[in-house]
Amino acid sequence: MTQEKSLDSLDAIADCLADAFEDGEGAAITAAMRAVAQAPALGELAAAVGMPREELQAALMADEFNLDLTLEIMKVVDLHMSGGRG
């Protein structure tokens, strides 16, 4: 599964989350979010989402995800998956 790969870049995080959301199972999405929360590139995702790294990490580790935050993360994932890097 994608979570086993090193999440050391924003592209790797995008791949991990895209795979989880494509899978569509809650357990896969939760596992991906938690893997991303521990990722070396979490700071890159936090900057892209526009929030402090620690705050994003806490949100990703929470039992329930904030829908607005999830949508912001998915926008970043979509940009990276479509090659629209800034």
Angle at 16 between CA 53 and CA 36, to 5 degrees: 25
Residue pLDDT, tens place only, 17-64: 999 988 888 899 889 999 999 999 999 999 999 999 999 999 999 877
Residue 29: both structure tokens together: 């999405």
Burial of residue 20 (number of CB atoms within 10 Å: 0-12, 13-18, 19+): buried
pLDDT of amino acid 19 = 92
CA distances from 25 to 13, 29, 30, 32, 42 (A): 18, 6, 9, 11, 23
Tell me, yes or no, if the pTM score tops 0.75: yes
For the chain, helix, strand, coil in percent to 5 are: 70, 0, 30
